[in-house]
Structure 1
Amino acid sequence: MNRPGPRHSVPPGGIVHTYQKYDPVSFPPPSHPGGPDVVSPLMEQMLWYGSRRPLTDEDLARAVPIDPSQIAGLGPSIDGLIELLRQRKAKILATYETETVLRRAARCYRELGLRMKPPEKLARRFRSAFLEEQPRDLERLWYAMDDEQSRFARDLVHLNERLGEKMQVDELASKYEFTGRTALTIEEAVAIKEELETIDKLLQQLEEAKKNARIGLIDMEALSNYAEPGDLAGLNELRERIAEYLRQMAEMQGLERGAQGYTLTPKAYRTFQGRLLERLFSDLQAARSGRHVGPVAGEGAVEIPRTKPYEFGDSVANMDIPQTLINAMIRRGAGRGNVPADRFALRSDDIEVHLTRNSPRCATSVLLDMSGSMRHDGQYINAKRMALALDGLIRREYPGDFLQFIEMYTFARPVHVSQVIDLLPRPVTVRNSVVRLRVDMSRDDVLEMQIPPHFTNIQRALQLARQFLSAQDTPNRQVVLITDGLPTAHFEGEMLYLLYPPDPRTEEATLREGLLCAREGITINIFLLPNWWQSEEDVQFAHRLAEQTGGRVFFTAGRDLDRFVVWDYVSMKRSIIG
């Protein structure tokens, strides 16, 4: 017969929560894809080249570093090949000497040049090019010949070849320290130089592979001339393992592999945008926890984590059910109230409700300058990176907001966020120092593709942004203008003007459009990117546009553009909520 154990006093009922500190940067959440970041390096390449350059397995191997310690057998395999190549290089240097071939190459060049008899009108140019040993000058001299089949013209070609051989021998002797005694012919010296350079290249590739496991970048065909088939088989096996590992990581992170290489899926875009935002907001961690200065409570549709006891008039729809039940259980365990042991009841003082805040809707048009000047210093890359970061922020934090991107060049056109990655600066097709063009775009025989595309038409871009924003039912409307200088194109009715250097007529048309935006309650935020030819006029124009329209102007380095725009958007949302 089982006897009941001794009865112990039961402490008052209650639930104890123990929270462990959690740092999402140091300890990524389970949803974070494991392994190396495959998306970001390839997205950076896409920012540079768009879709014009396909993403290949070689790009994947070059872009993504891997911890070599994760791959068993990698270190010993590479160390053996490195030692083999070093021994081959040391043997070559210990076998040959270069003094003899240096004299031979110089003598061949000199003797041929002294025998040549140039035409009288080219004698001075030939003598200068011959003594200064300049291949380009000798080549230009050949193009200046009236008769390309003459004896002098044929000898000039041979002389340029002898000079090329002499320069290669000189480079061989200066680049490598030979200690042997075997003399080289000129042909042998050129071949030895190519072999030593190949060995150096392979050594560099193998050393890199030891650090980051980038075996895919090793020239296996060149390596096969030195290594045993068994060694190469082992390295090829490791190479395939790493390539398969990277392909799996690419698939997990949203890259699809096709016949032309890798393509980006929406999942890859979201992954890249999330990592952009992590980088942008990481600088705030040292100053404060979280992203905002403080919550703004009020009656609204968006719940925030903080709670408060229920008061008359609060909406029960915002009840924090877990905390409410916990409060009731604690009260019951403490013996408060006249509730039988087999029953469970809620009282009004048990109820906890979430604080809420209003989240006003915002509408934003981002004007991305893709004129010819944005190619310098890669400013267009910073603009596209900012666009993707802002789109990621709005999708994640403010999904009800409106966002429209507009490409700005000689004309302006709306672009979807999926097209942003493919935007590239328009090619410069007119290089005159002064341009004064007027085009009637109402004519049926005039097409956009016939017009020089590399000018900057801020007026047309603002007009297009105003049309998009006017259709949005919200008082919070803004334009984010990303540019590097003064406008150089504008419309007057159907007449397009292309004016360079920038003309006051274009500025006046741009300011008029800016004032129309201001009258409709649209704030213009100008982010002026720096460039080496930027003048005081560029800065003054940005100030005039901001002052006359009640907008704002920011001066920021290109690499910080995404941080400035995203942080400003968050600050703007916070001020509207407040």
Structure 2
Amino acid sequence: MFIRYSKWTDQSMTDEQRLQQLLSLFSYLLLKTSGDVKEALEWMKMIGEENDLFDEKFTFDDFVQKLKEIGYIDEAKDMLILTTKGVQRIRQDALNEIFNSLKKGPISGFHETPHSGEGIDRLSETRPYQFGDQPANIDLTSTVTNALIRDGVDDFTIREEDLQVYETEFMTSCATVILLDISHSMILYGEDRITPAKQVSLALAELIKTRFPKDKLYIVVFGDDAKLITLSELPFVSAGPYHTNTKAALQLARHLLRKEGNVNKQIFLVTDGKPSAIFEPDGRLYKNSFGLDPKIVNKTLDEAVACRREKITICTFMVARDPYLINFVEELTKSNRGRAYYSSLDKLGEFVFVDYIRNRRKKIKYNL
């Protein structure tokens, strides 16, 4: 996320616009601090002092009070906590951030759609009517034009051969599992990779809730092991001293998707590290952080093949360019016949959204 700070003046924006900008900044700081309201406010105060974001008309204390009044934060046992409404605001801000980036057109081929769930999406192209076409899809303008060309105004009649209908596209519902890497490498060497990954996950969840309510989304975090989490838990997730058990993550995702009857089943794997751990048959964790361990890699690729057999596509989003990682991803993609993107952190959201929307659409033939 790119944020530009500037001194506020009466001419800059309205009070409401100013408040919304401050709230969006606070949402991002909450992601950075894994939902720690106290730490986020400390950062907010420091940034505000350095960039003159607050003044006598609207002080930092006024901002904190406004957060309470709106219902984004609350007090519990002498500490400030993030509310459900606050979490929803984070999702909305994350979605807006990515959509604003997409509107600038950095990635071609993105087509936003206002339709949700299963159904028929009417396109602008038309064709002659065929038996079985829905009357609601008739293009009246083209139909009347055809009749006028044939008979003229004086003897105007509409025949079946005059009818033109809009082409349609079937919108399938999807079941998606986001696999979010929370291993130590996501914060290694001073580079924060976990915050953009969380931001994208929250934004995708908000997109599905508002635009595609019939779609199903699971969120799984993985390090030494894989764990299904709720949407409300996502802002509080942080990277830890874990290895990367990609096999366990894929296995859990496959089990979750197995019970879904949706046409499109897919896994979004967001990672920056090669697999470095698997569980032994006796439950012990086998780990090796040096290079690509054939034992770990082969077991992970076996899981990718199992996903392919169950018609589950793995789409891998890389946020690093380690040669070891690139080699592994190429093998993973080949085994699953999936897709892979090598993305910088600031473009991660755009790649995820374009891929999600593009691959949930399926053309159907009109000769029913």
TM-score calculated relative to the size of structure 1: 0.48
Q: 1:419 to 1:353 in 2, by over 3 A?
A: farther
Partner of 2:93: 272
SS at match of 1:38: helix
Whether 1:384 and 2:198 are equivalent positions in the alignment is: yes
Partner of 1:498: 287
Residue in structure 2 matching 1:246, options 63, 66, 73: 63
Alpha-carbon separation, structure 2, partners of 1:39 and 1:352: 50
Counterpart code for 1:468: L
For structure 1, list consecutive stretches of 5 or more residues without a partner in the other structure: 1-31, 65-204, 216-237, 328-335, 338-346, 428-453
Counterpart code for 1:368: L
Counterpart code for 2:237: L
Alpha-carbon separation, structure 2, partners of 1:576 and 1:252: 48
SS at match of 2:111: coil
Partner of 1:401: 215
Whether 1:485 and 2:306 are equivalent positions in the alignment is: no
Q: 1:256 to 1:309 in 2, by over 3 A?
A: farther
User: What is the root-mean-square deviation in Å for CA atoms of aligned residues?
Assistant: 4.0
Deviations 1:315-357 (A, max 9, x none): 467799xx99xx9xxxxxxxx99xxxxxxxxx999x9998754
Whether 1:38 and 2:54 are equivalent positions in the alignment is: no
Aligned ranges 1:71-82 → 2 under 5 Å:
none
Which structure would you say has the larger RCO, counting Cα contacts within 8 Å and 6 or more residues apart?
2
Residue in structure 2 matching 1:212, options 36, 52, 58: 52
Counterpart code for 2:103: S
Whether 1:360 and 2:177 are equivalent positions in the alignment is: no
Greater mean alpha carbon deviation, residues 459-468 or residues 48-57: 48-57
Partner of 1:51: 35
Partner of 1:301: 119
Partner of 1:540: 327
Q: Is the 8 A contact 2:92 2:206 kept in 1?
A: no
Q: Is the 8 A contact 1:480 1:525 kept in 2?
A: yes
SS at match of 2:341: strand
Alpha-carbon separation, structure 2, partners of 1:391 and 1:39: 20
Q: 1:561 to 1:576 in 2, by over 3 A?
A: farther
Q: Is the 8 A contact 1:254 1:267 kept in 2?
A: no
Partner of 2:337: 550
Q: Is the 8 A contact 1:542 1:553 kept in 2?
A: yes
Q: Is the 8 A contact 2:114 2:211 kept in 1?
A: no
Q: Is the 8 A contact 2:98 2:349 kept in 1?
A: no
Q: Is the 8 A contact 1:307 1:352 kept in 2?
A: no
Query: Offset of 1:294 from its aligned partner?
Result: 9.8
Query: Offset of 1:530 from its aligned partner?
Result: 1.3
Query: Offset of 1:271 from its aligned partner?
Result: 2.8
Q: Is the 8 A contact 2:94 2:200 kept in 1?
A: no
Q: Is the 8 A contact 1:369 1:456 kept in 2?
A: yes
SS at match of 1:50: coil
Alpha-carbon separation, structure 1, partners of 2:96 and 2:359: 22
Query: Offset of 1:386 from its aligned partner?
Result: 1.4
Q: 1:33 to 1:301 in 2, by over 3 A?
A: farther
Indicate the structure (1 or 2) with the bigger Cα radius of gyration. 1
Q: Is the 8 A contact 2:92 2:203 kept in 1?
A: no
Q: 1:372 to 1:309 in 2, by over 3 A?
A: closer
Alpha-carbon separation, structure 1, partners of 2:334 and 2:121: 38
Alpha-carbon separation, structure 2, partners of 1:359 and 1:305: 12
Greater helix share, structure number: 1
Alpha-carbon separation, structure 2, partners of 1:285 and 1:511: 33
For structure 2, list consecutive stretches of 5 or more residues without a partner in the other structure: 1-15, 145-152
Counterpart code for 1:242: T
Counterpart code for 1:51: G
Residue in structure 2 matching 1:455, options 228, 235, 243: 243
Deviations 1:412-454 (A, max 9, x none): 1011122111111113xxxxxxxxxxxxxxxxxxxxxxxxxx1
Q: 1:253 to 1:55 in 2, by over 3 A?
A: farther
Alpha-carbon separation, structure 2, partners of 1:559 and 1:494: 41
Partner of 2:302: 512
Greater strand share, structure number: 2
Query: Offset of 1:487 from its aligned partner?
Result: 0.9
Alpha-carbon separation, structure 2, partners of 1:515 and 1:287: 31
Q: Is the 8 A contact 1:55 1:261 kept in 2?
A: no
Deviations 1:254-275 (A, max 9, x none): 5134252352415413431342
Residue in structure 1 matching 2:79, options 260, 268, 278: 260
Partner of 2:3: none
SS at match of 1:271: helix
Whether 1:562 and 2:353 are equivalent positions in the alignment is: no
SS at match of 2:268: strand
Counterpart code for 1:214: F
Partner of 2:237: 423
Counterpart code for 2:273: G
Alpha-carbon separation, structure 1, partners of 2:34 and 2:294: 35
Whether 1:284 and 2:105 are equivalent positions in the alignment is: yes
Residue in structure 1 matching 2:318, options 511, 515, 528: 528
SS at match of 1:51: coil
Greater mean alpha carbon deviation, residues 53-62 or residues 558-567: 53-62
SS at match of 1:261: strand
Alpha-carbon separation, structure 1, partners of 2:303 and 2:126: 49
Of all paired residues, the percent bearing the same amino acid is 26
Deviations 1:109-157 (A, max 9, x none): xxxxxxxxxxxxxxxxxxxxxxxxxxxxxxxxxxxxxxxxxxxxxxxxx
Counterpart code for 1:473: G
Alpha-carbon separation, structure 1, partners of 2:326 and 2:174: 28
Query: Offset of 1:469 from its aligned partner?
Result: 1.0
Query: Offset of 1:370 from its aligned partner?
Result: 0.5
Counterpart code for 1:277: I
Alpha-carbon separation, structure 2, partners of 1:261 and 1:348: 70
Q: Is the 8 A contact 1:360 1:576 kept in 2?
A: no
TM-score calculated relative to the size of structure 2: 0.73
Alpha-carbon separation, structure 2, partners of 1:252 and 1:304: 44
Q: Is the 8 A contact 2:26 2:40 kept in 1?
A: no
Alpha-carbon separation, structure 2, partners of 1:319 and 1:254: 48
Counterpart code for 2:288: L
Deviations 1:97-118 (A, max 9, x none): xxxxxxxxxxxxxxxxxxxxxx
